[in-house]
Amino acid sequence: MSFKEQIIPEKLPAHIAIIMDGNGRWAMKQGKDRVFGHQHGIGAVRNAAEAAAELGVKYLTVYAFSTENWNRPRMEVDALMSLFVETIEQEQETLKKNNIRLNAIGDLASLPKENYKKLMDAIGRTKDHNRMVLTLAMSYSSRWEILDAVKKILEDYNRKKITADDLTEAYFGLKLTTAGMPDPELLIRTSGESRLSNFLLWQAAYTELYFTSKLWPEFEKEDLYEAIVNYQNRERRFGLTSQQLNR
């Protein structure tokens, strides 16, 4: 039976997050430069988005560019920025066909002005799509996001809009860039690395982590199905015991 056939629709994760890693290594393996790998990573994003939408996943969040990625060689950063804009414009048709709403999280103000504008335009064009939300994490890091949330909360506190007792997990969540989204049930990282690299640290408190040695440009629909089947075979206990869950 294929992995797709093994998926139990009732146990589908509502939110899947992906750390798309290994573009550089994939390119180097074939004697090409790193940008070639990023270019080939786009097809994998398209496959993952289409597969997730077709299954009925409601939110797909991909780590496209971290705060730390700004420290890569200037040429690679510039190439990635151009690639993002070109891709977002070229993929309008895929987004429309699959009824996918585009969203972005991160320190978007730090993006080059033109990129920011084009990103916002593309997001605006998909605002009425309602099958799935595809979120690009751009210039994103969890530590940045958490500090940003704390600053917003301090502002509310100083304006006497809240007292210390109002600071609940739910309230904190509303100040994060993912406000309104459910936490991801499943987080996938490609390329054999087993770490979160500053991605969705608050949101991933109870997320099931799935690591695969596939490099991102090699990631196909079947790999997403395999990750979902693996997730569905786990017991999520949220701090309870197995006996409590199965009573």
Q: Measured from the CB of residue 196, what is the shortest distance to ligand FPP in angstroms?
A: 14
- Longest pairwise C-alpha distance within the chain: 59
Alpha-carbon distance values, 49 to 30, 134, 162 (Å): 26, 7, 39
Out of 88, 104, 176, 200, name the contact with ligand FPP by CB under 6 A: 88
Nearer to ligand FPP, 88 or 187 (CB): 88
Closest listed residue to residue 87, CA positions, set 133, 128, 55, 40 = 40
Out of 3, 4, 14, 25, name the contact with ligand FPP by CB under 6 A: 25
Span from 38-46, 103-111, 165-173, 229-237 in contact with ligand FPP (CB under 6 A): 38-46
Distance CA 186, CA 179 (A): 18
SS3 state at 61: strand
Span from 15-23, 118-126, 160-168, 218-226 in contact with ligand FPP (CB under 6 A): 15-23
User: Number of residues in contact with ligand FPP, rule: CB under 6 A?
Assistant: 21
DSSP annotation of 17: E
- Residue 69 designated active-site: yes
Out of 16, 21, 59, 181, name the contact with ligand FPP by CB under 6 A: 21
The tally of CA atoms less than 13 A away on the side-chain side of residue 163 is 1
- Residue 21 designated active-site: yes
Out of 13, 22, 106, 184, name the contact with ligand FPP by CB under 6 A: 22
DSSP string, 130-162: -SEEEEEEEEE-HHHHHHHHHHHHHHHHHTTS-
What are the tokens at 235?
């017991």
Q: State yes or no: residue 41 binds ligand FPP (CB under 6 A).
A: yes
Out of 3, 14, 42, 204, name the contact with ligand FPP by CB under 6 A: 42
Binding site for ligand FPP (CB under 6 A): 20-25, 34, 38, 41-42, 45, 62, 64, 69, 83-84, 87-88, 136, 191, 216
